[in-house]
Structure 1
Amino acid sequence: MGSLHDRAEGYDNGMSAARILGVQWRKSSRSNPNGECVEVASLLDGRTAVRDSRFPAGPALVFTRAQITALLKELKEGQLGDLRRPFQ
């Protein structure tokens, strides 16, 4: 039996990032120097795991390549600008 990284079906949103073994977590070179940023890891099945750098063993979110591409496109185009406003 291999690690969770060897079994694509073993990844679930919200699972502990500590259970995602054999990956290289990385963050942007433009990230906050205070450590308040997210880290990403590429999974063997092509998906991307995301975790909070302040809580490396905390929950991870797992996204498909299409989901990550759509998110980055919307961020670059400023389509998520309303997320900066407080909830009403």
Structure 2
Amino acid sequence: MGRVYNGIPATELEGVVWQKSELSNSQGDCVELARLADGDIAVRNSRFPDGPALVYTRAEIAALLHGVKAGEFDHFVA
């Protein structure tokens, strides 16, 4: 795998294992995450598996997950 950057085509992230929530809808449309070799986390839209992937640090993903669990983003789906 070459240089990893935000917006990298997900297909260039060879050897990563993409994971989505078991609670994704019946069409499988969901956000998928993959751990990269350096510990960062890549995120992609499962509807566009060849599209761009955004890359975040573990700390950034942890902050997001804590906010989700705390209900901080519930208004987006209300």
TM-score, length basis structure 2: 0.89
Measured against aligned partners, the alpha-carbon deviations of 1:1-41 in whole angstroms (never above 9, x if no partner) come to: xx23xxxxx11111111111111111111111212101111
- Secondary structure, aligned partner of 1:60: strand
Per the alignment, residue 74 of structure 1 pairs with 67
Structure number having the greater helix percentage: 1
Measured against aligned partners, the alpha-carbon deviations of 1:51-82 in whole angstroms (never above 9, x if no partner) come to: 11111110101110000000000011011234
Match of 2:5 among 5, 12, 17: 12
Instruction: Find out whether 1:37 has 2:30 as its counterpart.
Output: yes
RMSD of aligned Cα (Å): 1.4
Per the alignment, residue 52 of structure 1 pairs with 45
Q: Could you list the runs of 5+ residues in structure 2 that have no partner in the other structure?
A: none
Structure number having the greater strand percentage: 2
TM-score, length basis structure 1: 0.80
Larger radius of gyration: 1
